[in-house]
Amino acid sequence: MNGSSPVIEASPLVPDAGRGIRRIRVPQKLRNLELFLLIVACGINAFAVVLVQLGAIGAVDSTVITLGASLSVLVLGMHVALRYVAPNADPFILPVAAILNGIGIAVIYHVDLINGDTGWDSTAIRQVVWSAIALICAIAVVVVIRNHRVLQRYTYVFMFVAFVLLLLPMLPGVGQEIFGARVWIHIGPFSFQPGEIAKILLAIFFAGFLVQRRDTLSLVGRKVLGVRFPRARDLGPIIVIWALSMSVIVFQRDLGTALLYFGLFVVMLYVATGRTSWILLGGGLFLAGAVIASQTLTYVNDRFNAWLDPFSQKNYDDVGGSFQLVQGIFGLANGGLIGTGLGRGRPDITPLSQSDFIVSAIGEELGLAGLFAILCLYLLLIARGLRISFAGHDDFGRLLGVGLSFVIALQCFVVIGGVTRVIPLTGLTTPFLASGGSSLMANWIIVALLLRLSDTVRNQPRLVI
């Protein structure tokens, strides 16, 4: 596959001098739509910060400029970069990601105001700086990776790097344990969650691996009750990934990440082979693992108890009990249908309302109406990702697109499901909203890869009849 994208010019294709073959999509049209949506998104972000200040301190001061404008400048910078290096990229992804990031900053800023954090202690300021770093990474990805098929060449390199990143927190020197989970590394003043970056590398590895191997994984097998099951010797990959996820649960004590990796692999396997039996097998394996873990590991057992019976006094008072979960639900209840208003709720009562529980903070301040708008934005973002994969040309790109969009979808489900008590609570970050540099960086890189994929999809010979 060559790197240049074949774009057919109108003239040589028309032997019969009729109406020429028109390029029906004018590239700049897409970018202008993106610019319009971006300006609206930046306006909403600035409005959110102003509302937080009016609600919390009753006046507007200069912090608005640093918090509201810096993110806008950065996303507009990304927009300009896209005009040059990916003019046919999807116009909806960037504005949706920008608005999610901005609303996250506004809500984090409110918690800062209540806690009285200013300057470098302020989580919102750090979140803005991390957004800047993340966006610069995203621009670099779009500029450097001009053709996503290059990634396929390094399938196994990505696998190796992903495993190293997963193992890094276990190293005694750099690894750090926070709230029981050993998923951080700590170098100097910075702490980083390498698992977030590993999920992108794993998605690339799974895509490359499954493109090569899917025929063996899909064609042979025995039919049981109308479902074709794979041969025992083809179960190798799924068992390895299952063992990896289980070891994340046991050694790093992180349920969410394990669910994320395993769910990602099973879904990509299903998409690559089109066989329901992989979903059945994967679901069965994960359920078995979850039941075993809940019986043998105390922290998993605590999570299950807190999930099933959060309002009992014993679970509420226990260390590692349901206090946080219940406070989050109280926050959501306090918000009601339209919320208390930005800057006028009490999100600080819930522990970690800036990161893990930002959904309950948003639910309190914007209410059901606002939270559903946020969910719609996620839905649109994920739908775009799946749409890009559907229209893709090469199997690697299609699988990669599905994997990357599904990572965001699954992460939303795991976090929001945990906060709203649909599933046991696990420690994952809400994409784009939650404070946390590694998560922001990973999600903006996913956005950059999806933009690159969508640009390749539209760059092709086109004939309109």
Partner 1 sequence: MSELTLLILQFAFLALLWIFVFVVVYAMRSDLFGRRVKKLPDAQAAGAAGPASAAPVAAVSTNTPPRQQAPVPQSKVPTFTPLEGSSAGTHPRATTGNASRLVITAGTKSGTEIPLGTMPLTIGRSTDSSVVIRDDYTSTHHARLMVWNEEWMLQDLDSTNGTFLDGKRVTSPVNVPLNTPIKIGATSFELRR
Q: Which residues bind partner 1 (CB under 8 A)?
A: 1, 6, 8, 13-16, 18, 21, 24-25, 33, 37, 40-41, 43-44, 47-48, 51, 54-55, 58, 91-92, 95-96, 99, 338-339, 341-342, 344, 366-367, 369-370, 373, 376-377, 380, 383-384, 387, 390-391, 393-394, 457-458, 460-465
Other CB atoms within a 10 A radius of the CB of residue 135 amount to: 26
Shortest Cβ distance from residue 20 to partner 1 (Å)?
10
Closest to partner 1 by CB, 186 or 213: 213
**CA 386/CA 357 separation, integer angstroms:** 27
Among 4, 124, 120, 101, CA closest to 53: 124
For the bound state, the minimum distance from the C-beta of residue 330 to partner 1, rounded and expressed in Å, comes to 20
Query: Measured from the CB of residue 355, what is the shortest distance to partner 1 in angstroms?
Result: 22
Nearer Cβ to partner 1, position 23 or 231? 23
What 3-state DSSP class applies to 376?
helix
Indicate the residue among 41 and 108 with the shorter CB distance to partner 1. Answer: 41
What per-residue string of b and e applies to 163-181 under the rule 16 or more CB within 10 Å gives b?
eebbebbeeeeebeeeeeb
Instruction: Give the DSSP H/E element, type plus range, for residue 223.
Output: strand 222-224
**Residue-wise burial string across 73-93, b where 16 or more C-beta atoms lie within 10 A, e elsewhere:** ebbbebbebbbebbbbbbbbb
Shortest distance (Å) from residue 149 CB to partner 1: 11
The gap between the terminal CA atoms of the chain, to the nearest Å, is: 28
Q: Residue 227: which H helix or E strand, with range?
A: strand 227-229
Q: Least distance in Å: CB of 109 to partner 1?
A: 15
Residue type, 47: F
Give 30 or 445: the residue with its C-beta nearer to partner 1.
30
Smallest distance, partner 1 to C-beta of residue 33, A: 6
Looking at beta carbons only, is 134 or 366 nearer to partner 1? Answer: 366
* DSSP strand pairing (190-192 vs 222-224): unpaired
Measured from the CB atom, is 210 or 249 closer to partner 1? 210
CB of 36 to partner 1, least distance (A): 9
Beta carbon nearer to partner 1, 258 or 332 = 332
Query: What's the DSSP call for residue 235?
Result: G
